[in-house]
């Protein structure tokens, strides 16, 4: 059972470079999310998508973009990475975008911007 797969697992990236974090789910969930996790700040929502073809901004969207061309994939792009984007990034999905459904998380991508 794969669930949600994130790639890469970790990455060291030079500041100013472009980077796409990949996220694929095989559960046919409608909603998908991207979070970043920093010590003392918990998980902060970056972008979300309630269904294929739609996206929305979360708490900390600046410097990030997403697309949702199909149900399974939800890539997160950093157009020009900065050191403050050093973090652990988690992709998640849920059956629907309603607030009381369970979110399933990937294993995370540890990104270091130098």
Partner 1 sequence: TQLLEQSPQFLSIQEGENLTVYCNSSSVFSSLQWYRQEPGEGPVLLVTVVTGGEVKKLKRLTFQFGDARKDSSLHITAAQPGDTGLYLCAGGNTGNQFYFGTGTSLTVIP
CB of 18 to partner 1, least distance (A): 25
Q: What are phi and psi of 17, to 5 degrees?
A: -80, 155
Q: 25 near 40, Cβ under 8 Å?
A: no
CB of 28 to partner 1, least distance (A): 18
Instruction: Print the binding letters for residues 8-37 with partner 1: x by CB under 8 A, - otherwise.
Output: -----------------------x-x-x--
Give the whole-angstrom CA distance, residue 46 versus residue 25: 18
Nearest CA-CA partner of 102 in 5, 26, 33? 33
Interface residue list for partner 1 (CB under 8 A): 4, 31, 33, 35, 40-45, 48, 50, 56, 58-59, 90, 92, 96-100, 102-108
């Amino acid at each position: 059972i794969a669930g949600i797969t994130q790639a890469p697992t970790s990455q060291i990236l030079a500041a100013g470079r472009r980077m796409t974090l990949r996220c694929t789910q095989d559960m046919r969930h409608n909603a998908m999310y991207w979070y970043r996790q920093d010590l003392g700040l918990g998980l902060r929502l970056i972008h979300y998508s309630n269904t294929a073809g739609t996206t929305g901004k979360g708490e900390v969207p600046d410097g990030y973009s997403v697309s949702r061309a199909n149900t399974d994939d939800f890539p997160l792009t950093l157009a020009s990475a900065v050191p403050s984007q050093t973090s652990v990034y988690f992709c998640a999905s849920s059956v629907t975008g309603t607030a009381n459904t369970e979110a399933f998380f990937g294993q995370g991508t540890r990104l270091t911007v130098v």
